[in-house]
A = this chain, B = another copy of it.
Amino acid sequence: MTYSSAAIKAFSALGDPTRREIFERLALGPTAVGELAANLPITRPAVSQHLRVLKEAQLVTETSKGTRHLYRLDPRGIGAMREWLDGHWARALTAFKDFADAEFEAENKSQKENEK
Q: List 30 A-B contacts (CB under 8 A).
A: A8-B17, A8-B20, A11-B11, A12-B17, A14-B15, A24-B88, A27-B88, A27-B91, A27-B92, A29-B95, A72-B95, A72-B96, A72-B99, A73-B88, A73-B91, A74-B92, A74-B96, A75-B89, A75-B92, A75-B93, A78-B85, A78-B88, A78-B89, A78-B92, A81-B81, A81-B85, A82-B85, A82-B86, A82-B89, A85-B85
CB of A113 within 8 A of chain B?
A: no
Q: How long is the Cα–Cα vector from A61 to B74 in the complex, in angstroms? A: 33
Q: How long is the Cα–Cα vector from A14 to B79 in the complex, in angstroms? A: 17
Interface residue total, chain A, C-beta cutoff 8 A: 32
